Amino acid sequence: MRVIELLERETGRKALLDPKPMQAGDVKETFADISAIQRDHGFEPTTSIDEGIPRFVAWFRDYHSL
């Protein structure tokens, strides 16, 4: 829901939600494993979701001339 909150704030639009119970095949939790890129390239993420979502929305609007 945090991503939806950030998208709503950045776009100025309310998301249309239709919550459903967990469906067959839904995954409760996921965890990214970036150990290979850290080891091979020294990559360390530095952009928080609070910074990244607004930057993405700005890029999307610019790219699509919205």
Would you write out the chain's pLDDT as a tens digit for each of its 66 residues?
999 999 999 999 999 999 999 999 999 998 889 999 999 999 999 999 999 999 999 999 999 998
Provide the pLDDT for residue 52. Answer: 97
Identify the sign of the CA torsion 34, 35, 39, 43: positive
Provide the pLDDT for residue 25. Answer: 94
Q: How many residues does the chain have?
A: 66
Provide the pLDDT for residue 36. Answer: 96
Q: How many CA atoms lie within 13 A of 43 on its CB side?
A: 10
